[in-house]
């Protein structure tokens, strides 16, 4: 067990730099903060490198004895309250976070072994920008029993602290495959008999008129929707029917509506 009292400690500097995407990519690490996420990380056998604990917790017993027992198996580092407050990334910290190794696949397009082509559908994100949207989509994918997602190069970093918190643990169960070229990744999926489905306001079919089997489903950017390049590749365009005057839905809501039509069909079968 190590105790750190200085903000100038090299490890503390390292943790602070993990707020930056470029440094997260270089180090292959990210931060999860809070009791719930630590419990999920342990449960899902995430590659926990260090657990950082505010020593004030020993006085308040904020962390349960069972969790303290679990984290004792890892490299635990105790820090003063002042040091912890200098590195926490939340408004009301619970006095505990962990440094975790990423398991993301990188590359120009995708290698066959990086994608599980046995699943019914593959969700792909085309330049989603809002961390909350991405986190919610990851939770929704997890709730539907899916295990992977393709994300374009222009999509917000899945290991952004806001994204990680909003996944509520789904980040540990989803294989996040970052694509330098989303179009190339879709072409690779086609070799495995997948068809490309996109949502479009000009579509004649609704999401309830199609079969969700061997489909790559693309969720587009919040402001601009699915890019023209991907739209032009589509095998199938569908629309989410709306009875009111609103013409479009939030990206994460749209993803949820489509994915739960897939879920309904799967349960019905």
Calpha distance 267→138 (Å, rounded): 20
Whether 126 and 254 share a structural domain: yes
Residue 8 is predicted with a pLDDT of 94
Residue 151 in any domain: the answer is yes
Residue 118 is predicted with a pLDDT of 94
Q: How far is CA 70 from the centre of its chain?
A: 25
Whether 155 and 254 share a structural domain: yes
Residue 107 in any domain: the answer is no
pLDDT in tens, 134-144: 999 999 999 99
Calpha distance 87→96 (Å, rounded): 11
Mean pLDDT of 15-42: 95
In the predicted model, is pLDDT for residue 106 greater than 70? no
Whether 151 and 97 share a structural domain: no
On whether the CB atoms of residues 189 and 216 are closer than 8 A, the answer is yes
**Burial category of 262 from C-beta neighbours within 10 Å (exposed 0-12, middle 13-18, buried 19 and up):** buried
In the predicted model, is pLDDT for residue 261 greater than 70? yes
- Domain residues for the domain of 116 are 112-268
Whether 125 and 229 share a structural domain: yes
Whether 68 and 138 share a structural domain: no
Whether 128 and 83 share a structural domain: no
Q: Domains in the chain: how many in total? A: 2
Global pTM reads: 0.90
pLDDT-based confidence at residue 27 (cuts at 50, 70, 90): very high
Whether 62 and 178 share a structural domain: no
CATH classification of the domain holding 156? 3.40.1280.10
pLDDT-based confidence at residue 111 (cuts at 50, 70, 90): very low
Mean pLDDT of 229-242: 94
């Amino acid at each position: 067990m190590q105790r750190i009292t200085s903000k100038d400690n090299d490890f503390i500097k390292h943790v602070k730099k993990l707020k930056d995407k470029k440094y997260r990519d270089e180090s292959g690490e990210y931060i999860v903060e809070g009791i719930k996420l630590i419990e999920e990380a342990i449960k899902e056998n995430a590659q926990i490198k260090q657990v950082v604990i505010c020593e004030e917790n020993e006085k308040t017993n904020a962390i349960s004895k069972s969790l303290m027992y679990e984290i004792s198996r890892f490299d635990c580092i105790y820090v003063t309250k002042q040091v912890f407050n200098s590195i926490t990334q939340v408004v009301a910290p619970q006095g505990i976070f962990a440094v975790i190794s990423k398991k993301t696949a990188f590359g120009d397009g995708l290698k066959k072994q990086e994608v599980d082509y046995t699943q019914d559908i593959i969700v792909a994100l085309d330049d989603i920008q809002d961390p909350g949207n991405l986190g919610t989509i990851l939770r929704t994918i997890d709730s539907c029993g899916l295990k992977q997602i393709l994300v374009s190069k222009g999509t917000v970093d899945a290991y952004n602290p806001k994204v990680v918190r909003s996944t509520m643990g789904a980040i540990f169960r989803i294989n996040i495959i970052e694509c330098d070229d989303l179009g190339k990744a879709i072409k690779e999926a086609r070799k495995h008999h997948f068809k490309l489905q996109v949502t479009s306001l000009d579509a004649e079919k609704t999401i309830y008129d199609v079969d969700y089997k061997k489909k790559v489903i693309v969720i587009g950017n919040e402001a601009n929707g699915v890019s023209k390049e991907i739209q032009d590749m589509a095998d199938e365009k569908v629309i989410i029917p709306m009875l009111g005057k609103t013409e479009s839905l939030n990206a994460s809501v749209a993803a949820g509506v489509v994915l739960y039509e897939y879920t309904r069909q799967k349960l019905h079968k």
